[in-house]
DNA sequence: CTGAAAGCGCTTACAG
DNA sequence: CTGAAAGCGCTTACAG
């Protein structure tokens, strides 16, 4: 059908419409008044040629890419989808595209691979764990607009952050175990050591115990790492030891899966013998047996808000230093409630 | 620290190193011999200035973007993550970045929003359901290299496709129900009407019944749409009717969740009274109660292979017309096996 | 092996 | 409202 010649450029359109390329550019961008008659002529020429402006040329001329880079680690589990959906929705509505890079396990900045920077994005969304603090500082030093997700900036660095409220919700869900279900020996499965969500969740746990004069027993604190198998192994070990417990705050829902599997394998009844509660309210929470009582983290909203802040930063030069999204308890049956 | 002037360009490097910009370009690209001494000088100048070539300028000059566009619909559930991980791994290893666009529900081509095209990508990976056949034809007509995922090309169009084997595996899993577990009245939950995976899975189901002289009962075929709630509603309706059945082939794992929930709510025992089997082996398959017997689809590999084919197409002008990845049965307990 | 120059396809002051 | 011209920052024949 089509001739296989090269795609039409702005010159072709200008020639066909009998105007200058400046004028074509103006009708494409609609940023300057152009007479109605000429607009019509240019538009029909564009249609006839099936003209689409080359992004690279616009980028070069404007020094803008209209692209947001998203840096993610691999280990996001169910975060991935809602987070990206949120980012994409907002970005697209504002005329930005998103370039995604999975950094995998954080690695020392590999100079040869610079996936993102001023050269190909207008700004970056950096998810917790995808970049080292040094990497963040370096990106920031280059003048690239940055927004951090679920991670606060390295000390002294003025980089906006959007995350969720962890501590109060964690305290509340643990207090629910204590007050409503009379649990006294509550296991905490810690998240990854350098993870801020994990840190605040542990603080919430500690506050809850302290508020009810429960002793903080180190034997009740194990590793969960937000991972199913790690959590499973920890609980198996505890069950095999002589440490008794009557509840588990798993740190996140993914770890809750491992806990449930370990308990089930041992024939321990949840919640009759042991209550289990998680954090995140991932899609799997409601299909566990019993359905998981947890804290809902608004991950899609986090994505939206992060994109919104970054675009604001790109456009105006400033954004809100901290956006803390609210979380809420979701009561299902694993804590002992009947719903 | 840094002066807030504009980032260094190739001219700055050339000046500092005392060479022409052509030479700088050559050491950056390493495509033409340059004397060792000059390489050293240029490299140290680049380091000193912290120079990074502007992608937009290279793109303009080379008419290459080194970027692959990925078109996805929204409704991918657990596909999303492994698929993208696969694509990203291969793309990065070959020096490509990936630009992602969620098209949401397929919409008639919206001329104002052209997220991808020759103007900003070197080629496109198109997931089933993210573009209409007309959209695919249009993209193909513009000369953009295309690879389809889980979807074959519109008639007559020469576009490579990578997908998984559906029919034989479906037949096998249904025959497993018939032969090993003596099931006779097996419900099929169909996937979305225009979905090819759904089509072939249904063919496999039909073949299995035919091979064992079981009647194809239209009352046993309901809508599943690969969606939890749709599947749940269908099974609830069947349970309420007088149609009896002793097994369900749910079409995919997501629908299997709905089936299990409906059965459980009614107090029907799985697999004692009714066997349930799915397709995909998503992460949730093994945490269902009982764990789900299903077919494993190698989604991450699909992503890898699709990226590989697209890059091959971009580089050499041709790729394999069809890549059919093998699937395998995963026996857990929902079919009636004891494992 | 190295440099001068044209070209990639746009945008945007500057004039008018 | 419209056009001529410079510039965005690279790559790549073409000479030497």
* Structure confidence at residue A13 (pLDDT): 93
List of chain B residues whose C-beta atoms are within 8 Å of the C-beta of residue A119: 52-56
Predicted pLDDT at B314: 93
Judge whether residue A70 has pLDDT over 50: yes
Strand C nucleotides within 7 Å of a protein CB: 1-5, 7-13
- Predicted confidence at residue A221, as pLDDT, reads 97
Distance B54 CA to C3 C1' (A): 22
Domain regions of chain B by residue span: 10-58, 65-163+299-323, 167-278
Q: What is the model's pTM? A: 0.89
- Residue A232: pLDDT band (50, 70, 90) is very high
Residue to mutate among A87, A95, A112, A119, with most B CBs inside 10 A, is A119
Statement: B10-58 belongs to CATH 1.20.272 = no
Return residues 35-64 of B near A (CB < 8 Å): 50, 52-57, 59-60
Query: Above 90 in pLDDT, residue A97?
Result: no
- As a whole number of angstroms, the distance between CA B191 and CA A208 comes to 47
Mean pLDDT of all residues in A186-195:
96
pLDDT value for A3: 43
* B143/A114 CB distance under 8 A: no
Residues B243-280 pLDDT 10s:
999 999 999 999 999 999 999 999 999 999 999 999 99
Distance, CA of B11 to C1' of D11, in Å: 14
Nearest to A305 by CA among A160, A139, A196: A160
Please give the pLDDT value at position A104: 65
Q: With bands split at pLDDT 50, 70 and 90, how would you rate the model's confidence at B123? A: very high
* B5-21: average pLDDT: 89
Nearest residue to B149 (alpha-carbon basis) of B205, B105, B83:
B83
DSSP state of A280: B
The nucleotide minimizing the C1' distance to residue B32's CA is C1
pLDDT at B176 over 90: yes
Q: For the CA atoms of chain A, what is the radius of gyration?
A: 26
Place of tokens 């690239």: A144
| Closest to B254 (Cα-Cα) out of A262, A204, A283, A238 | A283
Domain B167-278 carries which CATH code? 3.40.50.2300
pLDDT above 60 for A10: yes
Question: Residue range B57-82: average pLDDT?
Answer: 85
B269–A contact, CB cutoff 8 A = no
Whole-number pLDDT of residue A109: 45
Q: Judge whether residue A107 has pLDDT over 60.
A: no
Residue A187: is its pLDDT beyond 70? yes
Model confidence at B114, in pLDDT bands (50, 70, 90)? low
Does the pLDDT of residue A245 top 90, yes or no? yes
CB B119, CB B140: distance < 8 Å:
no
Nearest to B306 by CA among B141, B79, B150: B150
Do A65-163+299-323 and A167-278 come out as alike in CATH topology? yes
Return the pLDDT at A325.
Answer: 98
Task: Specify the nucleotide whose C1' lies closest to residue B23 (CA).
Answer: C2
Residue A224 backbone zone (phi > 0: left; psi -120 to 50: alpha; other: beta):
alpha
pLDDT at B2 over 50: no
When the pLDDT of each residue in chain A is averaged and rounded to a whole number, the result is: 91
- pLDDT for the residue numbered A123: 94
Does A81 sit within 8 Å of B101, measured CB to CB? no
Q: Which of B2, B48, B54, B139 to mutate to test the interface with A (most CBs of A within 10 A)?
A: B54
pLDDT of B295-331, one tens digit each? 999 999 999 999 999 999 999 999 999 999 999 999 9
Task: Flag if B102 and A81 touch (Cβ within 8 Å).
Answer: no
* Range A174-199 average pLDDT: 96
A52 and B117 within 8 Å at the Cβ level: the answer is yes
| pLDDT at res. B171 | 98
Q: What is the mean pLDDT of residues A301-327?
A: 96
Tell me the pLDDT tens digit for each residue of A132-166.
898 899 889 888 999 999 999 999 999 999 999 99
CATH (residue range B65-163+299-323): 3.40.50.2300
Beta-carbon separation of A102 and B119 below 8 A: no
């Amino acid at each position: 059908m089509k001739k296989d010649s090269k795609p039409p450029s702005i010159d072709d359109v200008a020639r066909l419409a009998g105007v200058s390329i400046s004028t074509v550019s103006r009708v494409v961008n609609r940023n300057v008044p152009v007479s109605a008659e000429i607009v019509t002529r240019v538009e029909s020429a564009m249609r006839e040629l099936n003209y689409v402006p080359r992004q690279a040329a616009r980028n070069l001329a404007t020094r803008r890419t209209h692209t947001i880079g998203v840096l993610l680690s691999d280990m996001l589990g169910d975060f991935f989808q809602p987070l990206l959906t949120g980012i994409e929705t907002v970005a697209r509505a504002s005329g930005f595209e998103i370039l995604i890079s999975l950094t995998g396990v954080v690695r020392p900045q590999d100079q040869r691979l610079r996936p993102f920077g001023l050269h190909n994005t207008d700004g970056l969304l950096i998810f917790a764990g995808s970049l080292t603090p040094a990497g963040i500082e370096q990106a920031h030093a280059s003048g690239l607009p940055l927004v951090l997700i679920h991670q606060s900036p390295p000390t002294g660095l003025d980089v906006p952050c959007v995350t969720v409220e962890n501590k109060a919700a964690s305290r509340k869900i643990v207090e629910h175990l204590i007050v409503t279900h009379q649990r006294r020996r509550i296991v905490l499965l810690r998240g990854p050591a350098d993870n801020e969500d994990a840190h605040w969740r542990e603080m919430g746990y500690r506050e809850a115990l302290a508020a009810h004069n429960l002793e903080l027993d180190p034997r009740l604190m194990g590793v969960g790492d937000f991972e199913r198998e790690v959590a499973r192994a920890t609980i198996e070990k505890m069950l095999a030891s002589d440490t008794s417990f009557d509840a588990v705050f798993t740190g996140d829902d993914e770890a809750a899966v491992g806990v449930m599997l370990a308990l089930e394998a041992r024939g321990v009844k949840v919640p009759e013998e042991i209550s289990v509660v998680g954090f995140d309210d991932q899609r799997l929470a409601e299909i566990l047996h019993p359905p998981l009582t947890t804290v809902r983290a608004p991950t899609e909203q986090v994505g939206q808000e992060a994109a919104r802040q970054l675009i604001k930063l790109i456009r105006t030069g400033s954004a809100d230093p901290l956006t803390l999204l609210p979380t809420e308890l979701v009561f299902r049956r694993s804590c002992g409630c009947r719903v």
